[in-house]
Amino acid sequence: PKEIFLKNYKAPAFLFDEVHLTFILGEQTTTVLSTIKVLPSSNAAKAPLTLDGEDLKLLHIKIDDRQLEIGEFEIVNRKLVLTSPPSTPFVLEISTEIQPQNNTSLEGLYKSTGMFCTQCEAEGFRKITYYQDRPDVMAKFTTRIEANKELYPVLLSNGNLIDQGGLEDGRHYAVWEDPFKKPSYLFALVAGQLVSRDDTFTTMSGREVVLRIYTPAGDISKTAHAMTSLQAAMKWDEDVYGLEYDLDLFNIVAVPDFNMGAMENKSLNIFNSKLVLASPETATDSDYASIEGVIGHEYFHNWTGNRVTCRDWFQLSLKEGLTVFRDQEFSSDMGSRAVKRIADVIRLRISQFPQDAGPMSHPVRPHSYIKMDNFYTVTVYEKGAEVVRMYQTLLGKQGFRKGMDLYFSRHDGQAVTCEDFLSAMFDANNVKIPTFPLWYSQAGTPTLTVTSSYDAENHTFTLKCRQIVPPTAGQPDKKPMLIPLAVGLLNSSGQDLPLSLVYDGESSIDLKVDGNPVKTAVLRIEKAEHEFTFKDVTEKPVPSLLRNFSAPVRLNTDVTDDDLLFLLAHDSDEFNRWEAGQTLGRKILLDLISRVQRGEELTLNEAYVEGLRSVLTDQSLDKDFITKAITLPGESELIDLMKVADPVAIHTARRFVVRQLAQSLRKELKQAVEANRSSEAYDPSHPHRARRSLKNMALVYLASLDEPETTELAVQEYKAATNMTDQFAALAAIAQNSGSARTQALSDFYDQWKHETLVVNKWLALQAASDIPGNVRNVRDLLDHPAFDICNPNKVYSLIGGFFASVVNFHAKDGSGYELLGDVVIQLDKLNPQVASRMVSAFSRWRRFDEERQALAKEQLERITKLEGLSDNVFEIASKSLA
Ligand code: HT7
Ligand code: ZN
């Protein structure tokens, strides 16, 4: 397979001005006629014109209406090369034949439950027709679709509907015109039996935009939340960034077979059904939140991604990091800011930090790839969003907005780079930070060690900061990064002290905003070792470091356990209040893990229990925050913190702590269940979901005790549930323990919901993720269950993705978990390489385990890489994992 390098980027020699596409959709074959106005640039003289194309049958090719002859073009290695195209503007016409009904890769044009739909990002358009399938080629598209009217009454593409009508033989057509230039990856087409929920949004300039969400008829009642979320997102983008929607129609289509979450095609977003459909009975609070976030995310791409797009795929984080940041902020404004930040940081830590420390580590802007699909990663998305957040932390909200305004005024309609974004941010604020670009080019999570000292005589408090950026694949030596460290100092009654900083002992500054002393200072660490001294500190403070997680780093400090308990009780920065509890939890768990390994007796730190008791009973706290604060660090996070990860010891220690907490806090947990039941109609807004989250977390704790009384409580909650959030949480609580209650509840649940595929997927995931001993066998059996279908990505993510969540079972000592994954990857690779490569990624942490497990995982990776006809997608991940 060929590796593509950022350093080899060359601007295209031929521009495409206008593209006319005609799709004749058929059951056996679909033909695509493409007519392109080509503009050779001045450096095009004598250059060949190379078009990408995969799995296409070429019917004809013409230039200015003249059929080309053999010799004037050639097809090699998935490229069609026009050897000597004209050097003045010309019209290129290409006709190809494809078979969407046999396309199981779900990229290009494919069929999902009877409807035609497309997925072109990153390089799927080349499976539709020969084209310069790269984001810096932007053209105006007009699309004509012809199809059988009965089977495909709805015909959609990008832009505005400019014509439609009937044809012979029960066929009809529609013509769509998109007035905005766009790259091919934003092209979309949908044809099928769909109905729509229609609504409107009036923009800030008073234009009425028609909003339509399409689904098959049976699902349309489940689109109300998606519509409200869309309207909220449109309003938020106007309020926060002054960004208005630019067409009179915005369509969303939900499809059941989709490789990722959703796709931001211009004015025709295509969504995985699970991110559109919700009813109180079938979707959980977490589904409602994901729908709101992803509807927002795709909508926000209209400006950050579509109006201003990427020059090349290495710049992916330009649109994805920025748009994730925007959707995070949107969700924060719709719900609880602190809880959203906590959830985002957990995600970063459990997924991105391990990636950055493993064989697939890559910078936010990768230097090379074999398959671009493999780089839609947590690093590009989530770490990319952290990089964008650091601009805001450094420049302030207003400064960030100025940067965004300049970015759009400079680059609307262009395909640009991460440097362009950085320049807009810094130019708009007259700032220069020469080390900041390292966040785009250096991989690896920096480790920041902060130690503190108090000088009681001089009333100064000093922070010594040391950063190490670890070596990563292909990047042995790293430079120090710019790390914004948000800091507060708490006095003995838990209040924030006003901050004044001494710089290098020479000048001192009072940190003030609008005349008020600052309670949180953003220190800029720019060197490997950097010291900061605060003055006028009249008592020894407790430092609150890296407030709101101001940089994506691993933080080590000399803060004591008592200080952590103090921060857990008092920190005004809610994120750090939570973080203090987690830091203590991690320390306690790691110590218990060592004890398990040494066969010692286990006891739980009393002060920790009391700290959590205070949080649990604090009526002034947000209930969702309490839920997060009493949730222990996950097993996957602990894997990352051990030299040699020991799945059984991790599981034993964590389970011990859960049960000890349940014993000690039994009264308060019961109280939390009772006080937070609700008989009101389901409401997805924050205060309501916060009550449910606390009640359900308390239930999980209590049921972990596996006592008749607590199991009965969970069974009663299950039976009394009137919405999926409560029902599924109670099921999960019951299913923690083997036994008849578990068997009965799982079987009842399936009987009740077997016709709701998205609910059945939850049932698959819950069982797959179970820690009950020997569960690998059950997961294998579920592969043969009628509810499972390997062609549907959601099913694979639920069953196989769910299985990875069980550290003990996936990493079973006998290698049965690894073997199961190996079998699935091999089967999937032939059907859907993108999904197969997502699954094979689960092996990438194999070196973190003991030698026996390493050997077993390696065996599976080798078995996979030796496969004949292996896809480039899986090859890239598997071979890098082995390297
Ligand atoms: N921009 C979208 C990316 C996407 C995608 C990428 C590769 C393969 C399939 C895909 N489906 C969607 C999603 C987003 O970030 O908005
Ligand atoms: Zn995106």
Residue 795 gets which letter from DSSP?
Answer: H
Residue 475 gets which letter from DSSP?
Answer: B
CATH T-level assignment (fold) for domain 1-193: Immunoglobulin-like (2.60.40)
Using DSSP bridges, classify how beta strands 115-119 and 108-112 pair: parallel, antiparallel or unpaired. antiparallel
Query: Measured from the CA of 372, which atom of ligand 1 is nearest?
Result: 7
The CATH number of domain 309-441, selected from 3.40.250.10, 1.10.3720.10, 3.40.50.920, 1.10.390.10: 1.10.390.10
How many angstroms is it from 362 CA to the middle of ligand 1?
A: 19
Predicted pLDDT at 510: 59
Does the C-beta of 269 come closer than 6 Å to ligand 1? no
Query: Measured from the CA of 260, which atom of ligand 1 is nearest?
Result: 11
The pick from 120, 127, 260 for probing ligand 1's pocket by mutation, whose C-beta has the most ligand atoms within 8 angstroms, reads 260
SS in 3 state form for 812-841? CCCCHHHHHHHHHHHHHHHHCHHHHHHHHH
Dihedral-angle region of residue 577 (phi above 0 means left; psi in -120 to 50 means alpha; beta otherwise): alpha
Extract the tokens encoding 571: 């920190």
- 723, 713 in Cβ contact below 8 A? no
Query: Measured from the CA of 381, which atom of ligand 1 is nearest?
Result: 15
How many angstroms is it from 356 CA to the middle of ligand 2?
A: 20
Extract the tokens encoding 850: 């003991």
Question: What sign results for the dihedral spanned by CA atoms 849, 853, 858, 860?
Answer: negative
**What distances in angstroms separate CA 143 from CA 36, 159, 161, 182, one per listed residue?**
12, 9, 10, 13
Among the options 298, 637, 756, 876, which is catalytic?
298
How many angstroms is it from 39 CA to the middle of ligand 2?
A: 30
Write down the CATH superfamily of domain 447-552. Answer: Aminopeptidase N, middle-beta domain (2.60.40.1840)
From the CA of 135, the nearest ligand is 1
Ion ligand 2 nearby residues (CB, 5 A)? 320, 323
Query: Measured from the CA of 324, which atom of ligand 1 is nearest?
Result: 15
Does the C-beta of 121 come closer than 6 Å to ligand 1? yes
- The side-by-side arrangement of strands in the sheet containing 483-490 is 521-525, 483-490, 542-545
SS3 480: coil
Tell me how many helices (H) and strands (E) the chain has.
Answer: 29, 35
Angle between helix axes 708-720 and 666-675 (nearest 10 degrees) is 10
Asked, as a colleague might, if the bond just before 122 is cis with ω within 30 of 0, I would say yes
Query: Measured from the CA of 297, which atom of ligand 1 is nearest?
Result: 16
- Please report the beta strands in 279-349, taking only residues with DSSP state E, as ranges in sequence order: 309-310
Question: Is 447-552 in the same CATH topology as 1-193?
Answer: yes
CA 587 to chain centre: 28
Does the C-beta of 834 come closer than 6 Å to ligand 1? yes
Q: Is the pTM of this model over 0.90?
A: yes
Does the C-beta of 106 come closer than 6 Å to ligand 1? no
Does the C-beta of 376 come closer than 6 Å to ligand 1? yes
- For ligand 1, atom 2, the nearest C-alpha belongs to 263
How many angstroms is it from 299 CA to the middle of ligand 1?
A: 13
- For ligand 1, atom 11, the nearest C-alpha belongs to 260
Please compute, for residue 252, the number of CA atoms within 13 A of its CA located in the half-sphere on the CB side. 31
Q: What is the chain's length?
A: 883
Predicted pLDDT at 518: 86
298 is catalytic: yes
- 274, 287 in Cβ contact below 8 A? yes
Extract the tokens encoding 658: 């859960």
Does the C-beta of 122 come closer than 6 Å to ligand 1? yes
Does the C-beta of 123 come closer than 6 Å to ligand 1? no
Does the C-beta of 118 come closer than 6 Å to ligand 1? no
**What distances in angstroms separate CA 753 from CA 343, 534, 760, one per listed residue?**
29, 60, 6
- For ligand 1, atom 10, the nearest C-alpha belongs to 260
Query: How far is residue 561's CA from residue 584's CA, in Å, rounded to a whole number?
Result: 7
- 582, 555 in Cβ contact below 8 A? no
- Cα dihedral 801/802/808/811 (nearest 10): -20
Extract the tokens encoding 413: 């309609």
Query: How far is residue 734's CA from residue 718's CA, in Å, rounded to a whole number?
Result: 9
- For ligand 1, atom 1, the nearest C-alpha belongs to 263
Which residue ranges make up each domain of the chain?
Answer: 1-193, 309-441, 447-552, 754-883
Predicted pLDDT at 508: 53
How many angstroms is it from 376 CA to the middle of ligand 1?
A: 7
Does the C-beta of 263 come closer than 6 Å to ligand 1? yes
Q: Is residue 434 exposed (0-12), middle (13-18) or buried (19+ Cβ within 10 Å)?
A: exposed
- 438, 481 in Cβ contact below 8 A? yes
Does the C-beta of 266 come closer than 6 Å to ligand 1? no
Question: What sign results for the dihedral spanned by CA atoms 690, 696, 700, 706?
Answer: positive
Query: How far is residue 736's CA from residue 749's CA, in Å, rounded to a whole number?
Result: 15
- The side-by-side arrangement of strands in the sheet containing 73-76 is 49-52, 79-82, 73-76
Query: How far is residue 555's CA from residue 155's CA, in Å, rounded to a whole number?
Result: 53
SS in 3 state form for 87-135? CCCEEEEEEEEECHHHCCCCCEEEEECCEEEEECCCCCHHHCCCECCCC
Predicted pLDDT at 116: 98
Predicted pLDDT at 502: 86
**What distances in angstroms separate CA 390 from CA 315, 334, 344, 378, 802, one per listed residue?**
18, 22, 15, 17, 32
How many angstroms is it from 288 CA to the middle of ligand 1?
A: 20
How many angstroms is it from 38 CA to the middle of ligand 2?
A: 30
Single-letter residue type at 115:
M
Does the C-beta of 259 come closer than 6 Å to ligand 1? yes
Does the C-beta of 373 come closer than 6 Å to ligand 1? yes
Using DSSP bridges, classify how beta strands 57-63 and 66-67 pair: parallel, antiparallel or unpaired. antiparallel
From the CA of 325, the nearest ligand is 2
Predicted pLDDT at 40: 95
- 214, 251 in Cβ contact below 8 A? yes
What is the DSSP annotation of 155-207? EEESSEEEEEEE-STTEEEEEEE--S-B-GGG--EEEES-EEEEEEEE-TTS-
The total of other beta-carbon atoms located within 10 Å of residue 800's CB is 27
- 864, 821 in Cβ contact below 8 A? no
Q: Is residue 491 exposed (0-12), middle (13-18) or buried (19+ Cβ within 10 Å)?
A: middle
CATH T-level assignment (fold) for domain 754-883: Zincin-like fold (1.25.50)
- 300, 233 in Cβ contact below 8 A? yes
Predicted pLDDT at 681: 96
Query: How far is residue 703's CA from residue 741's CA, in Å, rounded to a whole number?
Result: 11
Give per-10-residue mean pLDDT for the chain (883 aa).
Answer: 97 97 98 98 85 98 96 96 95 98 98 98 98 98 99 98 98 98 99 98 98 98 98 99 98 98 99 98 98 99 99 99 99 98 98 97 98 98 98 96 98 98 98 96 98 97 97 95 96 95 62 79 94 95 98 98 98 98 98 98 98 97 98 97 98 98 98 96 97 98 98 98 98 98 98 98 98 97 98 98 97 98 98 98 97 98 98 98 96
**What distances in angstroms separate CA 65 from CA 36, 68, 86, 91, 693, one per listed residue?**
12, 9, 13, 8, 65
Query: How far is residue 157's CA from residue 295's CA, in Å, rounded to a whole number?
Result: 19
Query: Measured from the CA of 305, which atom of ligand 1 is nearest?
Result: 1
From the CA of 263, the nearest ligand is 1
Residue 845 gets which letter from DSSP?
Answer: G
- 156, 82 in Cβ contact below 8 A? no
The pick from 127, 263, 299 for probing ligand 1's pocket by mutation, whose C-beta has the most ligand atoms within 8 angstroms, reads 263
